[in-house]
Chain A
């Protein structure tokens, strides 16, 4: 994993990451913009802390993993950052507390904005359905050791 650049060169802020530099791979599969992970309350469930240790897979491979899962639209270049990831809302509930199944995992977080299409209720949704919502905040996470795609959120709430 290429080490992240200094935060002093941060140029803009995207959901969940501070943008640092842009990379274009040999093909479209691994194009991304490098960033720095930070905890975010949007979506509320994902927590990111400063990374500890070195990733064993590249950021480009993480982008490819999310694309392979069907979650990266064509032509979209995500911001990619490395951090310690905890999904606070995924796990069994014991005595009212969630026991996270993914906790403090070294991971890449990919963020980008893209349209999102809601599901719909089967009773009241008219034939033909609902309109696409523009500018949804997409967050996807890939294990930085195994390269496995872990989880994601498509947040189109206003």
Chain B
């Protein structure tokens, strides 16, 4: 019994054994985990990460790119909730026009899974790939503009999301119709204050080889100058090992 996709990911049977072994090991050693999450309160969107506007260096933006290390998250209990890490191409002014891809865990009893999501301001569509990611595994995620492509589902131009070379999702709209400027983003995010962003002080969530795709369809290494956002500084943290490498975690 195995999962349908491999790469850095594990067959389900092996993963169950690994999870059991890990759980036993952690229990025996009483290793402290990231700050314990509590019962879920009111839901929303809470962020720990970085963003950048390529217009600042005269570039149009046509996609985002990052290598992300999967980390488990401790989540709140009592309602549906998520904890996630992703790369995103955002436009508009409402926070509801975006294309993203990365890892997501749903509820305290779910597992970390490759996902992708788009939103044209009229409600989101989220794809769950069923691909489970173990702690420390990495994957390259990208959002990318497709110009004059027959592959776009209902428009001439659209955006596509990828894990490596594997297509995850295509939008039924052209994101370049969004009001500019556009932003390149890497974030940890939760749906509840009480949940933990993925990562711990000893094993943070790492975003590396951060890039954006410019108007010439070239991948540009993320320069210095990303802006930080940290909604819950009492519980979460972040740092910048390099301009194109960022980390987030729960204290």
Contact = CB atoms under 8 A, between A and B. Distances in A.
Contact of A118 (B50, B90, B92, B119): B119
Contacts of A129: 43-46, 191
A156 interface: yes
A148 B80 CA distance: 22
B154 to A, nearest CB: 8
B45 A157 contact: no
Q: For A43, A68, A152, which residue has the most chain B Cβ atoms within 10 angstroms?
A: A152
A124 B45 CA distance: 11
B124 A156 contact: yes
A9 B40 CA distance: 42
Contact of B90 (A89, A115, A122, A127): A122
Given A118-B119, A118-B124, A124-B94, A69 B106 contact: yes
A92 B167 contact: yes
Contact of A125 (B43, B47, B170): B47
Interface string B201-234: 0000000000000000000000000000101000
B183 to A, nearest CB: 5
A111 B149 CA distance: 31
A96 interface: yes
A71 B185 contact: no
Given A121-B90, A129-B43, A151-B130, A90 B166 contact: yes
Interface residues of B, number: 66
Given A70-B111, A93-B151, A130 B44 contact: yes
A123 interface: yes
B12 interface: yes
Nearest to B183: A123
Nearest to A142: B130
Given A93-B167, A154-B124, A158-B123, A148 B4 contact: yes
Interface size, A (range): 35 or more
A146 B1 contact: yes
Interface in B70-104: 80, 82, 84, 86, 88, 90, 92-98, 100
A122 B88 contact: yes
B32 to A, nearest CB: 24
A92 B169 CA distance: 11
Contacts of B155: none
B106 A124 contact: no
Contacts of A98: 151, 167
A122 B47 contact: yes
A122 B187 contact: yes
B247 interface: no
Contacts of A117: 43, 45, 80, 82, 191
Contacts of B176: none
A157 B123 contact: yes
A153 B125 contact: yes
Nearest to B232: A127
Interface string A29-45: 00000000000000111
6 contacts: A45-B169, A92-B165, A118-B96, A125-B95, A129-B44, A156-B125
Q: Which 3 A-B pairs have the closest CB atoms?
A: A70-B110, A129-B45, A129-B44
Interface of B: 1-5, 12, 43-47, 49-51, 80, 82, 84, 86, 88, 90, 92-98, 100, 105-107, 109-111, 113, 117, 119-120, 122-130, 149-151, 153-154, 165-170, 172, 183, 185, 187, 189, 191, 229, 231
